Amino acid sequence: MPVLAAKDKKNRKFFIMNSEPPISLEDLFEDIVAKAMRGRHLSESELAERTGVPRDVLARLCRGEFCDEAALAKVATALSLSPRALAMAASRVWRPRPVSVEGLGMFNLPYRDMRVNAYLVWDPATKAAAFFDTATDSTPLVARARALELEVGSIFLTHTHNDHIAALDGLRAAFPGARAWSNRAEPWPGTETFSEGAEFRIGSLRVAARTTSGHSPGGTTYFVEGLARPLAIVGDAIFAGSMGGGLVSFADAWRNNLEKILVLPDETVICPGHGPLTSVGEEKRSNPFFAGEFDA
């Protein structure tokens, strides 16, 4: 049970704490390079020709050996990545700062050989609550909501890949009055659908839906305002230090991340579908896919 809800006895507020080592980054630098190569439609041999990097050096970089910083910089430039941020990723010197927000619960659960996130968001004043994605096991999600005596009124799906919706039936059985929602561009049986710009409420909290497709046809980012910091629950659009695979369209995924997520206030907490929490400000500085757009 990696993430627990604890009560501060002095302030009587619930907050997020982690009883285990920090959640690992979703992607290492070689994963970032591989995603960029697929997205830019470049093979290893084509990348070697374009950069002038010897093929043996490039092969080592692609395997995850940080063997030549100058060669990595050439690779980054050819793939429209930030050389500075990619070198930081390869050096493993960066990870996002820990985040704690009253009204945000994170669940990091196993799925096959990886882990996937789901979120519980609630209004501390009214106890109104909603789940965002379901991950793979409804048991800890239901237990947390009941322990906090929350009234769950909604279940929002960021997209419909199985690891993100596997526990939907369990959540709906536990909270039969909750309305489940999916993007009209990616509907799921038994859910109500919405379009770009739809707005919702969780008690006094405001939720705005932004379609951030590319990884999936109707991938959605939910921008939540009203807590101590705004939240962007992004599914697999963007990760701490990386981005989703752009399975439908890498170009659309990249553009939507830049134009619909990274335009949010820097203090916005990014809640990704995999890996640790991060923030808009940190991704603008440190994400190899996007930092070059903001470097002075």
**Distance of alpha carbon 125 from alpha carbon 59, whole angstroms:** 55
Neighbours of 146 (CB within 10 A): 12
112: left (phi over 0), alpha (psi -120 to 50) or beta: left
From 14-18, 158-162, 211-215, 292-296, the region with the lowest mean pLDDT:
14-18
| pLDDT tier, 3 (very low <50, low <70, confident <90, very high otherwise) | very low
Residue listed under structure tokens 């695979």: 245
What distance lies between CA 16 and its chain's CA centroid?
17
Structure tokens at 275: 């890996």
Pairing mode, if any, of strands 179-183 and 192-194?
A: parallel
| Surface-to-core class of residue 30, CB atoms within 10 Å of its CB (0-12 exposed, 13-18 middle, 19+ buried) | middle
Enumerate residues 6+ apart whose C-beta is below 8 A from 49.
Answer: none
Q: Stretch 215-220: mean pLDDT, rounded?
A: 98
DSSP per-residue string spanning 204-254: TEEEEEEE--SSSTT-EEEEEESSSS-EEEEETSEETTEE---SS-HHHHH
Beta bridge partner(s), residue 235: 272
Q: Tell me: pLDDT of 8 over 80.
A: no
Q: Tell me the per-residue pLDDT of 56-84, one tens digit each, with 9 for 90 and over.
A: 999 999 999 999 999 999 999 999 999 99
What pLDDT, in 10s, does the model give residues 137-148?
999 999 999 999
pLDDT over 50 at 10, yes or no: no
**Mean pLDDT confidence for 2-8:** 38
User: Mind listing the domains of the chain with CATH numbers?
Assistant: 3-20+94-293 (3.60.15.10), 29-91 (1.10.260.40)
